[in-house]
Structure 1
Amino acid sequence: MSTLLLPLLRLSAGGVAALLLATASTGCFSNRQNEGASLYQAHCSSCHGTQGEGLRRLIPPVAASDYVARNRAGLPCIVRRGMHGDVVVNGIHYNQVMPGHEDLTDSQITNLLNFVQRNWGNNNEPYTVREVSELLAPCHGSDGQ
C-alpha cells in the first residue's frame, strides 16, 4: 500500500467529506475569482477606460466616482438596461447614451459591480447576488441567475 494513501485511510468519513468539499470549493471559487475584472474589461473599459477614468467630458469615470457611491440601488439596472440623459459625476455633467448589457446574468452583474465598488479609489460595500436580483426588479431585469 502506498505511503501516500495511509494518511487518507486514517481520516474519518467526515474528514474525507470535508477534504473533498474544500477541494471542490477551491476550484469553484478560483474559476470566478477575477470574473468582475474580466467582465469590466470586456463590457465597460472601451468607454469608461481601463482604469475607470472615463473619457474627458464625454464618458463619466467610475473610478473615485461619487455617482457610484451615491447610486448603489440604481447601478444594477443601469448595467442591465443602460441609460441616457444628463448625469452628474464628480460635479461634471455628462449626456451620452450608455448601452445596456442584457447578456449578463445577475451573478455576472454582481461580480462586475463589486469589481468597480472595490477598485480605483472606490471603497463601497460589495453586493450580494440576491441584492442585485432584488435591485433589478424595478427595471424587470433579473434573470434569477
Structure 2
Amino acid sequence: MSCPASSIIARVALLAAVSVTGLLSLAGCFTERQNEGAQLYASHCANCHGDQGQGLQRLIPPVAGADFVAQRRADLPCIIRKGLKGPLVVNGVSYNQVMPGHEDLTDSQITNLLNFLQTHWGNKNQPYTIREASDLLGRCNGSDGQ
C-alpha cells in the first residue's frame, strides 16, 4: 500500500504545525516561572527595598550592589523566610529596622527571588539551586520541601 506524495506532505505539514503549536504553548508555561523572581520581588520586597533595589536612605538597606547579598549568601534564605531584626551593615552603612518574614513563599519561590537578587542591579553572584536554598532553609526550620 502506498500513499500519494501529497498525502505524505500534508501529514508532515500537519505534524510540523502541531509540534510548533505545542512548543509555543510549552514556552508559555516557562515564561511566568522565568520571571517569577522579579514578580516576587515586586510584590514582596519593592515596597521597602525600592523598585530598583536602592533601599530607603539610612532606614532600609539596598539590595542593589549590596555587599551583604554576596557576603551573607548562606543567611539570605532564612532572612527572607523568617525576617530579620537587629543591627546590620550594608555597604558600610548601619541599619537597624525590622524586616518581616515571608512564611507564605515556597522554597522554590524563595530560590527564584534570591536568584533575581543575585543577578540584578549590579549583583553578579552565583545563583542558588533549589537544593541549596532548601538545605539553607533547614538551618532555621524554614524549609517546606517545595
Fold-level match, TM-score > 0.5? yes
Residue 138 of structure 2 is matched in structure 1 by 137
Q: CA–CA distance in 1 between the matches of 2:72 and 2:10?
A: 55
Closer, same or farther: CA 7–48 of 1 in aligned 2, 3 Å? same
- Name the larger-Rg structure: 2
Question: Match for residue 5 of structure 1?
Answer: 11
After superposing the two structures, state which structure 1 stretch, 24-33 or 132-141, moved more.
Answer: 24-33
TM-superposed CA distance for 1:33, in Å, is 1.2
| Alpha-carbon separation, structure 2, partners of 1:54 and 1:125 | 22
Separation in 2, partners of 1:41, 1:4: 48
The C-alpha deviation readout for 1:110-132, integer Å capped at 9, x for no partner, is: 00000010000000000011110
- Counterpart for residue 114 of structure 1: 115
Deviations 1:76-122 (CA, angstroms, capped at 9, x unpaired): 00000000000000000000000000000000000000001000000
Q: CA 1:87/1:24 → structure 2, altered by over 3 Å: closer, same or farther?
A: same
Amino acid at match of 1:91: G
The alignment of Structure 1 onto Structure 2 pairs a total of residues equal to 139
Q: For 1:1-145, what aligned pairs fall within 5 Å after superposition? A: 1=7, 3-7=9-13, 26-145=27-146
TM-score normalized with structure 1 length: 0.86
Return 5+ residue gaps in structure 1 as ranges: none
**Residues 87 and 4 from structure 1, CA distance in 2 versus in 1: closer, same or farther, beyond 3 angstroms?**
farther
| Structure 1: 4+ residue segments shifted above 3 A | 1-4, 18-25
Q: Tell me the distance in 1 between the aligned counterparts of 2:111 and 2:21.
A: 28
SS of residue paired to 1:93: strand
- RMSD, aligned CA: 2.4
Deviations along 1:58-77, whole A, 9 cap, x unmatched? 00000000000100000000
> Distance in 2 between the 1:22 and 1:140 partners?
39
Q: Structure 2 length as normaliser, TM-score?
A: 0.85
Identity between Structure 1 and Structure 2 (%): 63
